[in-house]
Amino acid sequence: MLTPAMTDRLNKQIGLEQYSSNLYLQMSAWCDHQGYTGSAAFLREHAGEELQHMHKLFDYVCETGALAVLGALNAPPPGYKSLGDVFEVTYKHEISITAGINQLVASALAEQDFGTFQFLQWYVSEQHEEERLFKSILDKISVIGLEGKGIYFLDKEIRKLAGQTTVS
């Protein structure tokens, strides 16, 4: 059974995962509009993964007998300065999500809610993978660059990364 405080925290995380999905879907639209079709495909696929993260939390809250509550979401930014800007934002966003998961884990331990602590371990591992994935894109941008044909090859490389983190 979840405490009301833990239910509230998990519901907030549900909102953050749903926002992540909207953020990446909007980025996908911007990339497609700019002709970066590989990045658009990658981000669209990743938006779907974020929805799975959201549903996993939603199901957990429901299974404990607590009430899952979907709150209002902010609109994601519609535009970016460059493809590099998009992936700087994704990396910073994932770091902020990791911080949120870490706070949830700390709260679960403080409350001696070991069921939630155990459940959250999946998110701890997933965030490690997510940060690694988005950092690898920033590394590619740094090596290949965004000038001339570089952006064409970069976009093709980013397309290959679709599906590199798994949800189970």
Alpha-carbon distances of 70 from 18, 58, 127, 134, rounded to whole Å? 9, 9, 22, 27
CA dihedral 38, 39, 44, 50 (to 10 degrees): 140
Q: Which of 45, 74, 50, 53 is nearest to 10 (CA)?
A: 53
The answer to the question of residue 86 lying near ligand FEO (CB under 6 A) is no
Cβ 71 to ligand FEO shortest distance, Å? 17
Nearer to ligand FEO by Cβ, of 51 and 108: the residue is: 51
Cβ 17 to ligand FEO shortest distance, Å? 5
Nearer to ligand FEO by Cβ, of 2 and 97: the residue is: 97
The answer to the question of residue 97 lying near ligand FEO (CB under 6 A) is yes
Kindly tell me which residue out of 94, 113, 155, 157 binds ligand FEO, with binding defined by CB under 6 A: 94
Residues in the chain: 168
Provide CB contacts within 8 A for 35, sequence distance 6+.
none
Kindly tell me which residue out of 27, 50, 83, 104 binds ligand FEO, with binding defined by CB under 6 A: 50
Interface contacts to ligand FEO, rule CB under 6 A:
17, 20, 50, 53, 94, 97, 130
